[in-house]
Amino acid sequence: MATFTISHNLLTDVCDVNQFALPSLEMIFVGLRGAVVSDANDHFFKGQQTLNLIDINYINARCTILQWRPANQDIAVFPASTVPNQINVKKSLDGGEKSNCLLTGYYKDYRKGIHKEGQKTGHPAFRQHAPHPIKRTSDDLDFDRDDRVEYSNPRDNIHCGWFQSLSSDNFASAGCQVVMGFPKCEKPGREKNVGPWKVFHDNAYGINQDSFPYVLVTGLDIFGLSNNGSTKAKLRYGSGGPKVKALQEALKDQNFYDGIIDGDFGELTMRAVIRFQQQRFGNDDADGIVGRITAEELGIDNVL
């Protein structure tokens, strides 16, 4: 299991490489898919944190959600899952609740609010208020590059995960981003927040900030950047600026993009990139992310 260290400077590099223009706020959420904390009980803000790479299995919580305070240049880490539980994926395939998997990228608006408002398990959390790209599976219990991409708002909130350890196999997610612990709610026996969720909740609800940006990348993205220090841009959903304009122009020139050249890597740009990758590389290599090879194929590798 490979180990890496994450810091304020590395998170800044991640945003720079991905062309994420984050606002100046007291706290930012960051999800790391396929990376687990070294100490599941340490939730103190620190200048750097140590994590371990691990494969996603949709059975156990194998992710981390960070709270990043740029002004303080420190980070707190929380055991989490950024993918749905396989139990819910199976229910979805059997015709039950529709599970989904949020694509990596930058999401601008998770607001304080109630997850599952009006239900006994409802609790203060962070609600997604805008459409965003998700994957749906119809053939197996995981999410692959050939699964269908939708652009909607199934309310993939950030909320308490109802699980107590990294070995738990019943974390409560059909697509939401969930943090280890149990919430205060109207369900019998749930009079207070406990576990990492309590700290996560108190940290965010204790400041005068109602909306939180959420950066979602993979642990492998961070690991690669921490080891080779590459500053070559990688564009994905939520990227913005002149490099995205160059991408849109290249896609338009090759008849994959019919939107305006606005420098915003949103739904239309994402779908155009996927169509381009499917045509040039096949479904298995169509991830909607513009890295070195896709940029070279588009003729914009000199721009990125």
pLDDT tens digits, residue range 135-172? Answer: 999 889 999 888 989 999 888 899 999 999 999 999 99
- Is residue 22 assigned to a domain? yes
Give the pLDDT mean for 219-231: 80
Residue type, 173: S
d(CA 48, CA 103): 26
Whether 251 and 208 share a structural domain: no
Per-residue pLDDT at 190: 97
Per-residue pLDDT at 229: 62
Whether 129 and 203 share a structural domain: yes
Q: What is the DSSP letter of 280?
A: H
Count CA within 13 A, CB hemisphere, residue 50.
7
Per-residue pLDDT at 232: 75
Whether 115 and 263 share a structural domain: no
Query: For the chain, what is the domain count?
Result: 2
CB crowding 229-241: b at 16 or more within 10 Å, else e: eeeebbbbbbbbe
Whether 157 and 268 share a structural domain: no
Whether 29 and 70 share a structural domain: yes
Q: Which residue has the higher pLDDT, 302 or 198?
A: 198
Whether 264 and 136 share a structural domain: no
Q: CATH number for the domain including 281? A: 1.10.101.10
Per-residue pLDDT at 283: 87
Percent pLDDT > 90 in the chain is 85
Whether 80 and 174 share a structural domain: yes
Whether the model pTM is above 0.85: yes
- Is residue 226 assigned to a domain? no
Q: Which of 75-84, 90-99, 132-141, 232-241 has the lowest mean pLDDT?
A: 90-99
Whether 242 and 110 share a structural domain: no
Whether 217 and 242 share a structural domain: no
**By residue range, what is the domain housing residue 178?**
3-221
Whether 25 and 90 share a structural domain: yes
